[in-house]
Amino acid sequence: MNSKSTPSQDAKPSFSMDDFAKALEQHDYQFQRGQVVRGRVENHESNGAYVDIGGKSLAFVPLEEASLRRVTDLSVVLPLQEERDFLIIREQDADGQMTLSVRQMEIKQAWDNLAEMLEGGKTVQVRVSGVNKGGITVDVQGLRGFIPRSHLIDRDNLDALIGEKLTASFLEVSPDTNKLVLSQREATRSASFNLLEVGQLIEGKITGIKPFGVFVDLEGVTGLLHIKQVSQTFVESLEKVFQVGQLIKAIIIDLDEGKGRVSLSTRVLENHPGEMMENMTEVMESAEARAERARKNLTR
């Protein structure tokens, strides 16, 4: 006859320290490389900071991973007892310690911000950090960017630009290929475009003469005075009327920022057909008064 078991024999064994350790290990398996975790900064060392993220041991943030920018004082970027998010960049080692990064999170955020700025057509302040054969390297919110020589306003003495701050717009933002290309020229053109409007009287310097028209520099934007917009009468040769370097006043009759096009006219300033060829000096000297009449005609 089998004896009945006592209550003490039926009772389940208590939760041992070994069981507790195994439970902790299972908990740690939730932590994986690429995961964002919440942690509290516990202490600083010369080479990094230790962070409590709820694991078996404190996780470690190397000094070079503490910020996107160069760190000289950990207490500034990771104050003690501060709670914040961290990215796991290396899973736990033999001691159960994981490696965290703030820098990698900030890099992703920076790329996202710049992509939004590109889409919104915004400009950014950059600091020139170096020079190479094709242009200059710049610091863009902690990321390394490039401005080709052809997209600079001052293309002659690039070394003099090192350390300078420039306003630039975005040509390409590609985190996958780590490619960040900008343009100072386009940013200047865009800013100048915002100051222009149809009907406005402008003054600029002639930079080129072609059979079809005259190119005029408007402080970063190039305007075109087409041969048909010079006078109300036929113009046989623009080179007989204008010369490179000459200052000229004209009315803006059309703007196309997408194509970077500013269309000009002196034809609308004439009091009678052919006046631009007969007495250009008079037309230019009284251009402000003539412009008022021209604006009324353009808005009709």
pLDDT in tens, 183-236: 998 888 877 787 888 899 999 999 999 999 999 988 778 899 999 999 999 999
If pLDDT is split at 50, 70 and 90, which confidence band does 261 have?
confident
Residues 6+ apart with CB under 8 A from 245: 205, 206
Q: In the prediction, which pLDDT does 162 show?
A: 94
Asked if residues 60 and 51 have their Cβ atoms less than 8 Å apart, the reply is: yes
Q: Residue range 2-16: average pLDDT?
A: 52
pLDDT-based confidence at residue 17 (cuts at 50, 70, 90) = low
Please name each of the domains of the chain with its CATH number. Answer: 21-101 (2.40.50.140), 120-189 (2.40.50.140), 197-298 (2.40.50.140)
pTM of full prediction above 0.75: no
List all residues 6 or more positions away from 263 whose beta carbon is below 8 Å from its beta carbon: 223, 224, 226, 229, 252, 253, 254, 255
pLDDT of residue 8: 47
Instruction: Give the whole-angstrom CA distance, residue 132 versus residue 287.
Output: 46
Residue type, 173: V
Confidence at residue 228, expressed as pLDDT on a 0 to 100 scale: 95
Give the model's pLDDT for residue 21: 56
Q: Is the CB of residue 250 less than 8 Å from the CB of residue 223?
A: yes
- Picking from 216, 208, 161, 172, the residue whose alpha carbon sits closest to that of residue 192 is 216
